[in-house]
Each structure stands twice: as structure tokens, then as C-alpha cells.
Chain A
Amino acid sequence: MSTSTTADFRTRLQDWLPKVVLAPSFAVILLFVYGFIAFTVVLSFTGSKMLPKFDFIGFTNYAKLFALQHWTTAVVNLAIFATLYIAISMAVGLMLAIFLDQKIRGEGLLRPLYLYPMALSFIVTGTAWKWFLDPGIGLEKTMHLWGWESFHFTWIKDSDMAIYTIVIAAVWQTSGFVMAMFLAGLRGIDNEILKAAQIDGASNWQLYRRIVIPMLRPAFLSAFVILFHLAIKSYDLVVALTGGGPGRATELPATFMYSYTFTRNQMGIGASSAVIMLMTIAAIMVPYLYSELKEKP
């Protein structure tokens, strides 16, 4: 008997139609994301200045990059910023979520209040905090007018402290969002487990430390991944809040890349700094996405 598996026209059409529909998006991503990444990687090995040139000079750009004081400052700043930003946002977010989860009256009002900064542009956030922290018209002056003459808060003008003002503004913007993630995690915990723990005699503190917080592991992971990639991509906030200053005190790799590529005409070095940024994110994101996507049917 013939095993004729030739499908009819309708079936064959239905077979390739989905792929045809997906193809443009995928092609665009392949070209504009992965193609461009490849292009930038290639550029980072060339001596391009104002325009791309394909004179390969090996790892020279990378060597130069890591010899630059400017880049070192940016990397150190990023390390400080990312660590504090992620840690404080998570701590604040977790605390607010746990507190809000105690049958608080007015939760419906507080939640959107904590969250609304998420809806703002970093440029708006930066503008607001820039003036709020400006000693001449902002917080310091207000305190003086209210009679606290010795109040002193000039971090934004202080090269050693300015990076922390970026942390403050960034935490302000995203900690409410982290709170929402943790709150969703808390609400997803099966109450029977908590009842069982209470019957077992766990105190409130033990209940949270031993049962609830460990069960929030997925929320911690998601929050970390999102904050981490936001930290490395941070650009607008610095531009609006400090413009990278005072001096270069708040330069981050993102602002470094922009100024080297587009204002200093050191495209090769700019490209190599972008590659370093990508590799840093990929080191966290690739394993994360891999574990999220594998073994799903």
C-alpha cells in the first residue's frame, strides 16, 4: 500500500503560513540586533575614528580602553552604582511588600503611590532630583529656611559623593516596581504552608526568614535580572541629573561610550566599550534565559 503523505494545498499553506508571518520580525531582529552586534564587534577591532574604517588593529582598542583613566572611573562608578542600586532597591522593595502585605488599610492608595515613578522618564526623574538636591535652591536651602542652619547636603556638587545621588534617584524610580514584584510573589504563596508553619510554632520572624523569603526566590531572581540590566543600560538618568559630572565623577560606561563615539570621534574605542557592556549583560542574561526557556514543552 502506498504511504502517500503528500498533503493537500490547504494543509501545506497552513504549514508555511505561520513561518512566513514570523519571518519578518525574526529577520529584523537578526539583522538589527545580531547583525549590528557583529558589526560593532568588528568595528572594535579597527582604528575607526569619526567614520567606520576597516583597518584592523587587533586588540589595540581594548588595550587603550583599559588604560584610560576615564574608562576606569566609569567602570568603578558602575560597580558602586549597580551594587548599591540593586541592593537598596531590593531591600526597600522587599520591606515595602512585606509591610503592605499585613492587611494594611489604604493599600489600594499606597501601591500606586509607590509605583508611579516607574511611569516617568529618567529625564524627568533626573530633572526633579537635580533641583531637589541642588544646595542653592533645594533641600539644603529649605532646611536652612526652616531654621536648621547647620544642615549640609552637597553630594550632587561633590565629586566623591555625586555617584550616590544617582543611586538615590534610581532607587526612587524603580523600588516601587520591585515592591510590586515581591508583592505578587507574596500573594502567590500557598497559605496552607504558612498555616502549617504557624502550627509548627514558627514565630513571625522565623516564618518570614525560613519560609516566606526562601519561597520568593523566583521574584528575587527576576528582580535582580531586571535591575542588573537597567543598571548597565543607565544613561538618561546620569545625563539629566549630573551630566556625568562634577568633572567625570559620575561617568558610567554608557555615557563613556556615547561621548567617545559621537563627540570625541574615537569610534573604535567607543565600539570596544559597547562590546564590554554587552558581554557583561550577556554573562548574566544568557544563563538566565537559557534556564528559563529550556525543558519547557
Chain B
Amino acid sequence: MAAVTQDTAVSTGRVTRTFLYVVLGVFALFYLLPLYVMGVNSVKPLAEITGGNMMALPRVWTLEPWRAAWSTAQIGIEPTGLRPYFLNSILMVVPAVAISTVLGALNGYVLTKWRFRGDTIVFGLMLFSCFIPFQIVLIPMALVLGKLGLAGSVPGLVMVHVVYGIGFTTLYYRNYYASFPTELVRAAMMDGAGFFQIFWRIMLPVSGPITVVSVIWQFTNIWNDFLFGASFGGTSQPMTVALNNLVQSSTGVKEYNVHFAGAILAALPTLFVYIVAGRYFVRGLMAGSVKG
């Protein structure tokens, strides 16, 4: 009988184990391949791409495509490179993540520790908003942003991302706080702490893990968004939209190496966050499967 320890592993023979490693290895290659292709081809001269093998390492190494993608490539009609759009994305992501996370934390706190009649319905309505196809709000959102004078501006995008991010952040914090003992809140109440004091002194100090999750989730989601950026970006388009414009531009020769460099630039911040704090991210995704 196989000794079952921490996983559901079963006893297997040599042949089976070899097979397992081969399959796992092949899939590892499958996931790595596109990144590898983008990587090597972003440091090749264009001629080597069109004339040579996509898999081959560069014969001449060059950082020129990266420089071009960053500061000189033609985006739309201006030869600005991706730099200004990168900045737009940063300006959009930081406040949107901060605001939606703070609101989510407060909402989760109220929905678990200050329950009231109908709180489940309120939460259900907030939760469903995570899953709507955003096409259903595009038209009225465009009108409202126009009316508010926020169309095509970074604050407009911040607002949109906060509105449609609250559902997720609330979900995370609510699930996290639900397993936080209510007796602690009651003890603090008897000790004389008020609503905000309890939040600040008792809840927040233990909210580190879920805050990491919420921030990473919101950061990747908002950074990677394309639909809202393309619809409401106007002159303040984020990185994803600019990358798409760069890649899809029909004028001139297709500078594949520049496109690849641009794609990696667009992916870098989220990849970085993922590498630094990926373990928490996975845990957060688990919490995302709506468990009370």
C-alpha cells in the first residue's frame, strides 16, 4: 500500500513516472514557447526575423527594437513610442487600485461584522457586477463620462475601473473577514472601540494577506484591461491600447522586433508583480471561487 502523505499521490511504476515527467515537461515548453519567441526576436534585427528562424538565437544582438518601442515607434499618428502610454497606465492603475481596495476592505468589514437585514442581497448584487459582460454598460458609460467631462481622460478611466472593481475587492475582503472571529469585534466593542477604531486597530493589522491579493488582482486586471481603455481612453489611452495600435498599424513595414519588445514592455509590470508575489495571487484566485 502506498504511503499517502500530504498529496493524493498514488504509488506508480517507473514507466508511469517517466510518462508523467514527459507530459509535464512538454506542457512547460508549451507555456514557455510564446514568451521565448517574443524574447529572442525582440533583440534581433528585423532582417534576421523575416529571413531567419523564429526559434534561433540572434546572430547580432541589438537593443534597438526596445529603444524604438519605448520612445520612437509610431503609435497611431505620433512617433512617440509607448512611453507616454506606459505613464498613462501607471497614472490610471495606482489610484484605481488604491481606491477600489480601500472601499472593498470597508465593504467586506461592514458585510461581515456589522450585518444588517438584507446584507446578503446587497452583497449578491455587488458580486454579480463582477460577472456582467461590460458591453452592457458601454453605451451609458460613454454618455455619462461625456456629461461629467471625464471622457478620454485618466480620471475617467480611474472612475470606470473603481466602479467595476469594487465587486471583486468586496468579495475578497468579505470572504477573508468572514472567517475572522466575530467575538474579537465584540470584545473590542466592549473595550469601547468604535466602528473605525475596530477596523483600524483590530481588522487592518491582520488584513495583510488579503490586501496583497486584492492589490495584485486589481493591478493585473486594470493594467491588462483593453475594452475600457479602447472605448473611453481618448487621448489618454493605456498601454494595452497603444500596443494594439502599434501591432495593428497598417502603414510601413511590420517591425516585428519592435512589436515583440513592446509586448514585453506591456507585460513587464504584471509579470514582475506576479514573480514577486505570485504565491499570494494564486491563493487569492482560490478565494475568488465564491466561498462563504
Contacts and interface: CB of A to CB of B under 8 A. Distances in A.
Chain A in direct contact with chain B (Cβ < 8 angstroms): yes
A124 interface: yes
A90 to B, nearest CB: 14
B270 interface: yes
A167 to B, nearest CB: 14
A71 interface: no
Contacts of B249: none
A189 B170 contact: no
A75 interface: no
Contacts of B141: 32, 36
B292 A28 contact: no
Nearest to B242: A123
Q: Which of B8, B30, B226, B263 has the most CB of A within 10 A?
A: B8
B72 interface: no
B114 interface: yes
SS of B interface (majority): helix
Given A125-B34, A128-B38, A199-B1, A296 B292 contact: yes
Contacts of A139: 54
B125 A100 contact: no
A212 interface: yes
B135 A131 contact: no
Contacts of A253: 135
Interface string A139-158: 10110011000000000000
Nearest to B137: A36
B166 A39 contact: no
SS of A interface (majority): helix
B24 A39 contact: no
B89 to A, nearest CB: 10
Contact of A137 (B17, B33, B256): B256
Contact of A189 (B8, B21, B131, B195): B8
Q: Which of B129, B164, B225 has the most CB of A within 10 A?
A: B129
Interface string B127-159: 111011111111111011000000000000000
A223 B32 CA distance: 23
Interface stretch (A56-64, A79-87, A256-264): A256-264
Interface in B10-57: 10-12, 17, 20-21, 23-24, 27-28, 30-35, 37-38, 41, 49-50, 52-55
Nearest to A189: B8
B179 interface: no
A123 B266 contact: yes
Given A26-B126, A235-B227, A293 B292 contact: yes
Contacts of B167: 29
Interface in A219-241: 219, 222-223, 225-226, 229, 232-233, 235-236, 239-240
A126 B38 CA distance: 12
A33 B203 CA distance: 29
Contact of B137 (A37, A130, A212, A226): A37
Contacts of A229: 131, 133
B290 interface: yes
A271 interface: yes
Contact of B240 (A141, A236, A275): A236
Contacts of A101: 7-9
A29 B135 CA distance: 16
A174 B226 CA distance: 17
Interface string B78-103: 00000000000000000000000001
A279 B137 CA distance: 14
A195 interface: yes
A277 interface: yes
Contacts of A286: 128
Interface in A267-288: 267, 270-271, 273-275, 277-278, 281-282, 285-286, 288
B212 to A, nearest CB: 15
A281 B129 CA distance: 11
B292 A292 contact: yes
A18 B166 contact: no
Q: Which of A35, A129, A278 has the most CB of B within 10 A?
A: A278
A212 B9 CA distance: 11
A293 B123 contact: yes
A33 to B, nearest CB: 4
A181 B291 CA distance: 13
A233 B226 CA distance: 12
A146 to B, nearest CB: 8
A33 B12 contact: no
B245 to A, nearest CB: 10
A33 B137 contact: yes
Given A96-B27, A270-B139, A187 B6 contact: yes
10 contacts: A32-B141, A39-B139, A52-B143, A119-B267, A120-B224, A123-B243, A128-B38, A198-B10, A278-B133, A278-B136
Closest 8 CB pairs of A and B: A222-B289, A18-B114, A121-B224, A119-B274, A128-B34, A236-B226, A36-B137, A274-B135
